[in-house]
Amino acid sequence: MENYSHQIDSAAQTLVNPTEAHAISSHGAVHEAHELPNWISIFTSHFPDHPASDFLHRWENVIFSLTIALFISGVGIIAARKKNRVPQGIQNLCEAVVEGLETFVTGILGEAGRKHVPFLGTIFLYILFMNWFGLFPFMKSPTAAWSTTLALALTTMVYVQLTGMMGQGFTQVKLPFFKRRFLFPAYLIHLMGNPKGIFGIMVIPLMLVLNIILEFGAVPFSLSLRLFANISSEDRLLLNFAELALSSKFLAFPFQIFANLLALIFSLVQAFVFMLLSTVYIALVLPHDEHHEHEEIVSGHAH
């Protein structure tokens, strides 16, 4: 009787996540399943000795990410080829999405933000489809892995910092004991905390270290961890409802549908939040009116 119960447990574990079942049978260690099985995990569990299994397992998230990138690129190419005066079908849909993204970005960054729409729009759509991809049978959301969200956050951080470096240019600064003004990179002054007066100069080392930690460390860390935590939690929620539906002989299947609808909404919200925060970070490093004026570091007055 105990042997029969063990066989049932093993079969259920294989149905929920074959990769975890293979790990149990191979190493004798129990690993808790945290997502529904995808075609790569099923393949590697049934063919563990196949030459492609190790490659697929190592590059699982990259494979799904590239699949989504190819899909988005294909849709964009098809829509761009149909240049009708009156947009229809996929062209109409794509133009509506682009127009909505452009309106949102320019509403925060102004007209100068139009050149940032391609990057921000791509980030939004890419994350959105990666979030949704795990809702399809035997697929996976790459954003449920921290390596994927960290790569997205680091890319955003590099883009934001390059935008600040190229956009702020140089400003004229008056230094102590000098009558003339000196050209200084406005981006570096931004990292120094826009010092003004003697006290501002004294805290430059502290502000420089703090801003470097915040902008080069805290920003990508918070962006990546927020997205990873939410999407991985969604995957775990979907897994729990799937287990509930199986254990109740599909009587709880309506709850599974409800969970999928919630995942659709939450995935959209997470993609939007990532784009919103990225837009705000760009706004913070863009040159403002005061950056076009002369910075008086000693006296604290601008001319």
C-alpha separations of 13 from 17, 32, 33, 55, 130 in Å: 6, 10, 9, 24, 26
Query: Residue 182: its pLDDT value, please?
Result: 58
Query: Residue 283: its pLDDT value, please?
Result: 92
What pTM does this model have?
0.80
The 10s digit of each residue's pLDDT in 206-218 is 888 888 898 899 9
Instruction: Decide if 45 is inside a domain.
Output: yes
**Average pLDDT over all residues of the chain:** 81
Rounded average pLDDT over 103-126:
94
Burial class (CB in 10 A: 0-12, 13-18, 19+), 273: middle
The 10s digit of each residue's pLDDT in 224-258 is 999 999 999 999 988 888 888 888 877 778 888 88
Task: Provide the residue range defining the domain that includes 230.
Answer: 34-165+210-289
Report whether 131 contacts 229 (CB < 8 A). no
Instruction: Decide if 224 is inside a domain.
Output: yes
Rounded average pLDDT over 136-159:
95
Rounded average pLDDT over 263-275:
96
Please report, for the chain, how many H helices and E strands are present, in that order: 13, 3
**DSSP for 120-182?**
HHHHHHHHHHHHHHTTSTT---GGGSHHHHHHHHHHHHHHHHHHHHHHH-EEEEEPTT-SSEE
H or E stretch at 183:
strand 181-185
Stronger pLDDT, 83 or 291, i.e. the higher one: 83
Stronger pLDDT, 286 or 28, i.e. the higher one: 286
Residue 12 pLDDT level (bands cut at 50, 70, 90): very low
Q: Helix, strand or coil for residue 115?
A: helix
Instruction: Decide if 248 is inside a domain.
Output: yes
Query: Residue 183: its pLDDT value, please?
Result: 63
Query: Residue 224: its pLDDT value, please?
Result: 96
The 10s digit of each residue's pLDDT in 179-203 is 666 566 777 777 877 777 777 778 8
Instruction: Decide if 283 is inside a domain.
Output: yes
Helices of type H across 36-116: 39-46, 51-58, 60-81, 89-109
Instruction: Decide if 217 is inside a domain.
Output: yes
Instruction: Decide if 11 is inside a domain.
Output: no
Q: Please enumerate in sequence order all residues whose Cβ is within 8 A of that of 57, keeping only pairs 6 or more positions apart, or say none.
A: 19, 40, 44
Instruction: Decide if 161 is inside a domain.
Output: yes
- Report the number of distinct structural domains present in the chain: 1
* Interatomic CA distance for residues 142 and 65, integer angstroms: 6
Query: Residue 281: its pLDDT value, please?
Result: 94
Instruction: Decide if 140 is inside a domain.
Output: yes
pLDDT more than 90, % of the chain: 46
Sheet bearing 181-185, strands edge to edge? 181-185, 170-174, 295-296
Q: How far is CA 50 from the centre of its chain?
A: 33
Residue 83 pLDDT level (bands cut at 50, 70, 90): confident
Report whether 16 contacts 242 (CB < 8 A). yes
Query: Residue 172: its pLDDT value, please?
Result: 59
